[in-house]
Structure 1
Amino acid sequence: MSHPNRVLVVGGGVTGGVLSLALHQQGVEVVLVDLRESLGGVGHGITLQGNALKAFRSVGIYDKLAERGFAFSHLRMRTADGHVIAEIPTPPMGGPDLPGTMGALRGDLADVLAEEVVAAGVDVRLGTTITAIDDHGDSVTATLSDGTTETVDLLVGADGIRSKVREMIGIETQPHPVGMGIWRTIAKRPAELDCSELYYGGPKYKAGYTPISEDLCYAFLLEENLDRSMVGEGPRGAELKERGQGYGGTWGAIRDSLSDDAVVNYQWIEAICVESPWYRGRSIIIGDAAHACPPLIAQGAAMCAEDAVILAEMLTSGDKVEDVLPAFMERRFPRVKMVLDNSLTLAEWEIHPETEGADPGRIMGQTLHALVSPA
């Protein structure tokens, strides 16, 4: 067999959803399992760069997402009191006919992707995961949590930074804290808010926001890792307003507009980079399961979506699966490692802004310009 006829995808987020669509569109039978009871989304905002939009367009979900999101083509950096430091044009990472950047609700992205996966006829098994993997050399049998088994040509772990598949195939690499935590919330978009903006030099590591629709924006605040008991989501607007004091301009206005019971999420930022092969036999991990980066350059979803589109392209090229898996990692690893390393350097600089040579704008610009080259 020169290409897979049947693939099991574990995880129905951005990576697994895009991969399922891309493979199905090339005639591959896909079984998609996800522990959740629904593939639809909830959550805060997300910043999508042009290379993510290119991947979404390739599987047919870009137009629907664009109807809901907010497109723009530059990034503005400000001092804590709101004065402009620099404005950086976003390079055309998705090509000249796509926006440089788009803000969106995570829930909208998840909903659009889920609708297309279901409409395409992908075999979706919700409330289900895998409990065992038996590799036969030219195929793999997965035992599912409902007691059934699936024998497929390839098993793909697209199950995120805490991947169960990664552990099951014997990869021991674990995620690690970066040293900063992030507060996130959704607020009304002020009329003047026309792009992502970042505020430096204040009492915390950084504050910022991104427009995600005509009416809404996604605001965030980065600071040190607080106690683990602080992690989670709830009616914590008053808490964010208190912790976000010391910033002016539009960010200060957004902060002050929050109700005390606004829904706010706080998480530690973590990262992982699996440098050993991402595959074992006929199983492979991709996306955040293999390489999750801090969200400081807004490339997390883009790297996941690129993985999915490229893996589908290579699997259906006519080459043997056993040749595709190492070739896929060889093609992807330098690009995702560059993004991850630069994101970690940026995190270090934002934690320690006194570091000699620290220049967040420069490393962000260099990274985004490097990503103009096709994946």
Structure 2
Amino acid sequence: MNNSYLLLFLSIFFGILIGKIKIKNFKLGSSGSLFSGLILGWYSTSLYSSNMEIMNKLNSDFKQFFLFSLILFISSVGLIASKDLDKIIKKYGLKFLIMAFFITFVGFISTYIFSKFGNKYEFVGLYSGALTSSPGLATALETAPNFEKEIISGYTFGYIPGVLAVILSMYIFPYIFKVNIEDEKSKLKEIMQIEKDKEEGFDFLAYSLIIIIGILIGNINFDFNYISFKLGITGGVLLSSLFLGRLGKIWIFDFRMNKKILKTIQELGLLMFLSSVGLKSGDINLNAQTASLMFYSFIIAIISIVLGVIIGKYILKINWIILSGAICGGMTSTPGLGAAIDANDSEEVAIGYGATYPFALLGMVIFNKILILII
């Protein structure tokens, strides 16, 4: 149990089995790997907690699995969704901006209220954890470097409940809000006038270029006076795959990829990603204090999602397939995106995610700075 590859594929194996369990119309699907990863991560930690060499090696490997799988998943999702990008942006453009800032603002207000019940700087970290935002965490650490320990602690205990809140909502909310997914898919098809898929090949040269450009974009530091942020690997690769995929063929690079191959890469990336998130989060030390932080994180996430759904569905009138992606983008949640694609059986979810995500990152940066000033 100290072999990281064995743990990874055990997590994927058991996660798929868990995901197949169906209770009425509900099943976890690919998200089962997150739960199997958490269990195996906890078990391996309990076995080797006294051996720092093994623990450091496992954590290092899990981080690499996390980054690599993130690239596979995001790039394939972006390429699949790219052909319909311009039609959706034209119809819903401004609404994505509203969704991004509304969701991050609701999370900010909720965190501020709950911060009265605990360590204030732990709640600063909890805000970024509940909305699963690494750039938000980086902003908080940069703004309040003297409280690094408390901020990281809040983020660590807030992250998993934040992920779980988004994943569960993607499966459960269609029933709560009485959404007919098949009807929504049909309406979206009419809006986008989706053409029949063509049988394209798979250009590894172009695929590599998409990832290279995406990583470079993700490392660009956008600096606006007192506000600075990076899109990170997720944002950079998503943008490059969406826009290059939309352009099609440029010189010797063919960015139009075979959908069946892309869906296989997407599924592998998602299973690896969720498993690695679970495995590297398995060392959480659960006690009364950490349990309360996790509870607050889950509540903050749920409030942000519920109000986001209400605004998006009933006021902005966004199609559910696109809205579910926008919710995940507003929560900056890649695992949530995977759950939304799985729950809706539609890659078009990624368009809402891709259009909302950059604005949500900016919102997290702004509201983190404000939170530290007023807390």
**What's the TM-score once normalised by structure 1's chain length?**
0.23
Q: Which has the higher contact order (CA 8 A, sep 6+)?
A: 2
